[in-house]
Chains A and B, each alone.
Chain A
Amino acid sequence: MIDILSIILNTCPLFIAYQIASIGHSVVEKSGVLNLAIDGLFVLAISVSFMQAVYSGNDILSSILLSIVVTLLIGLFIVFISTKLPVSQGAIGLSIMFICYGLAGILGVPARSHQGSTGLKIGFNIQQNIVYSTIALVLTILLTILIHVIIEKTKLGIAIRACGENPLHAEALGVNVLRIRLIAGAIGYGLIGLSAGLFELLYSRLWREGHGMGHGWIVLAISLSSGRNPLLCLATTFLFSTLYEYRFSLLVFGIPREFIETLPYIVAILSMIIYKTTPLGEKLKPPQYLGKPYFKEERTI
Chain B
Amino acid sequence: MISINIAIVKRKKPLPKWLIPLLSLISGILTSLLILYVVSHGSINPLDVLIAIGNSITQPNLLLKNYAMLLVIGCGLLISFKAAIWNIGGEGQFYFAVIGAAWFALYSGLAEIPIINKFLMIALGLTTALIWILIAALIRGYIGLDEVPVTLLMNYIAYNIVDYLVNNHWREQVYRYTRTPTIPVETWFTNIPFTNATLELLLITLVTILLTWIILNYTYIGLFIRTMGSNPNVLKTIGVDVSKTIIYVLIISGLLIGLAGVSYLAGDTHLISSPVIAHTPYYGYTGILVAWLSLLELKYLFVTTYIVSALINAGINIQIVGVGGASIVNLMIGSILLTYTILFVFHEYSVKIIIKK
In the complex, the answer to whether A102 meets B139 with C-beta atoms within 8 Å is no
The closest CB in chain A to the CB of B153 belongs to: A265
The reply on B143 being an interface residue by CB < 8 A is yes
- Seen from chain B, the residues whose Cβ lies within 8 Å of a Cβ on chain A are 6-10, 32, 35-36, 39-40, 44, 86, 88, 139, 143-145, 148-150, 152-154, 156-157, 160-161, 163-164, 167-168, 277-278, 285, 288, 292, 324, 326-335, 337-338, 340-342, 344-345, 349, 351-352
Residue A201 at the chain B interface, CB threshold 8 Å? no
| One of A210, A221, A297, A301 near B149 (C-beta < 8 A) | A221
Of the A-B pairs whose beta carbons lie under 8 Å apart in the complex, a sample of 8, sorted by A's number, is: A85-B345, A91-B341, A94-B288, A103-B39, A210-B278, A262-B157, A276-B145, A297-B10
CB-based nearest B residue for A266: B157
Contact status of A258 and B152, CB under 8 A, knowing A94-B88, A106-B36, A276-B143 = no
Bound CA–CA A265/B278 (angstroms): 19
Which listed residue (B9, B152, B331) contacts A301, Cβ 8 A?
A: B9
Interface size on A, residues (CB 8 A): 56
Whether A87 pairs with B8 at a CB distance below 8 angstroms is no
The reply on A277 being an interface residue by CB < 8 A is yes
CA distance A98 to B338 in the complex (A): 9
Interfacial chain B residues near A104, Cβ < 8 Å: 327
- Write the nearest CB–CB distance from A28 to chain B, whole angstroms: 15
Knowing A36-B148, A106-B39 are in contact, say whether A95-B327 is a contact too (CB < 8 A).
Answer: no
B327, A258: Cβ atoms closer than 8 Å: no
The residues of B that contact A259 with a CB separation of less than 8 Å are: 160-161, 164
Asked if residues B145 and A273 are in contact (CB atoms below 8 Å), the reply is yes
- Contact status of A298 and B277, CB under 8 A, knowing A94-B337, A95-B338, A102-B331: no
- Asked if residues A86 and B153 are in contact (CB atoms below 8 Å), the reply is no
Q: A102-B327, A102-B334, A258-B161 are in contact. List 9 more A-B contacts (CB 8 A).
A: A91-B337, A94-B88, A102-B329, A105-B324, A109-B324, A209-B327, A261-B160, A268-B153, A296-B8
Interchain CB contact under 8 A, B36 and A86: no
By a CB distance below 8 angstroms, the chain B residues around A86 are 8, 345, 349
In the complex, chain A residues whose CB is within 8 Å of the CB of B335: 95, 99
A174 smallest CB distance to B (angstroms): 17
Cβ–Cβ contact B8 & A107, under 8 A:
no
Of B278, B328, B334, most buried by chain A (CB within 10 Å of CB) is: B334
CB of B334 within 8 A of CB of A98, answer yes
Which listed residue, A94, A107, A272, A297, touches B9 by the CB 8 Å rule? A297
State which of A36, A99, A213, A256 has its C-beta within 8 Å of the C-beta of B338. Answer: A99
- Of all chain B residues, the one with the shortest Cβ separation from A300 is B9
Contact pick for A258, options B36, B163, B349, CB 8 Å = B163
How many Å from the CB of B356 to the closest CB on chain A?
13
- Give chain B residues whose Cβ lies under 8 Å from the Cβ of A273: 139, 143, 145
Neighbouring B residues of A220 by C-beta, 8 Å: 149
Tell me, rounded to whole Å, the shortest Cβ–Cβ distance linking A277 to chain B. 6
A187 contacts partner chain B, Cβ-Cβ < 8 Å: no
| A279 smallest CB distance to B (angstroms) | 15
A243 contacts partner chain B, Cβ-Cβ < 8 Å: no
A176: chain B residues within 8 A (beta carbon)? none
CB neighbors of B among A20-49 (8 A): 36, 39-40
Contact with B along A142-175 (1 / 0, CB 8 A): 0000000000000000000000000000000000
Minimum Cβ distance to chain A for residue B45 (Å): 14
Contact B344 A87 (CB under 8 A): yes
Cβ distance B49 to chain A, nearest Cβ, rounded Å: 12
A68–B325 Cα gap in the complex (Å)?
Answer: 27
Please tell me if the beta carbons of B143 and A277 are within 8 angstroms of each other in the complex.
yes
Grouping DSSP codes into helix (H, G, I), strand (E, B) and loop, the B interface class, with mixed when no group exceeds half, is: helix
For A88-99 the 0/1 string (1 means CB < 8 A from B) is 101110111111
- Which of chain B's residues have a CB closer than 8 A to the CB of A90? 86, 148
In the complex, A207 has a CB within 8 A of chain B: no
Shortest distance in angstroms between B30's beta carbon and chain A's nearest beta carbon?
A: 14
A-B residue pairs, 6 tightest by C-beta? A105-B327, A102-B331, A98-B334, A99-B334, A102-B330, A95-B337
Q: Which residues of A have CB within 8 Å of B10?
A: 297, 299
Shortest distance from the beta carbon of B256 to any chain A beta carbon, whole Å: 20
Tell me, rounded to whole Å, the shortest Cβ–Cβ distance linking A32 to chain B: 15
A295 to chain B, nearest CB (A): 5
Q: How far is the CA of A237 from the CA of B331 in the complex (A)?
A: 31
Classify the secondary structure of A's interface with B: helix
Q: Which residue, of B8, B329, B330, B335, has the highest number of chain A Cβ atoms within 10 A?
A: B330
Whether B145 pairs with A272 at a CB distance below 8 angstroms is: yes
B329 to chain A, nearest CB (A): 7
Report yes or no: B7 in contact with A298, Cβ–Cβ below 8 A: yes
Chain A residue with minimal CB distance to B292? A91
By the criterion CB–CB under 8 Å, are A102 and B332 in contact?
yes
Q: Is the CB of B145 within 8 A of A98?
A: no
B351: chain A residues at CB < 8 Å are 85
Is A296's CB under 8 angstroms from B330's CB?
A: no
Residues on the B chain within 8 Å of A61, using CB? none
A100 in the interface (beta carbon within 8 A)? yes
- Are B150 and A97 in contact, with the CB atoms below 8 A? no
CA distance A81 to B333 in the complex (A): 19
Known A276-B145, A297-B10; judge A96-B334 contact (CB<8 A).
Answer: yes
A213 to B155, CA, bound (A): 12
Flag if B8 contacts A297 (CB, 8 Å): yes
CB proximity to B under 8 Å, residues A99-120? 99-107, 109-110
**A295 to B, closest residue via Cβ:** B8
Q: Assuming A88-B341, A221-B149, A276-B144, is B327 touching A106 (CB within 8 A)?
A: yes
CB-based contact A101/B330 at 8 Å: yes
User: Could you tell me the distance in whole angstroms from the C-beta of B32 to the nearest C-beta in chain A?
Assistant: 8
Q: A136 to nearest B CB, angstroms? A: 28
- How far apart are A94's CB and chain B's nearest CB, in angstroms? 7
Choice from B148, B157, B285, B344 contacting A98 with Cβ under 8 Å: B285
Partner of B168, one of A87, A256, A265: A256
Q: Is the CB of B330 within 8 A of A99?
A: yes
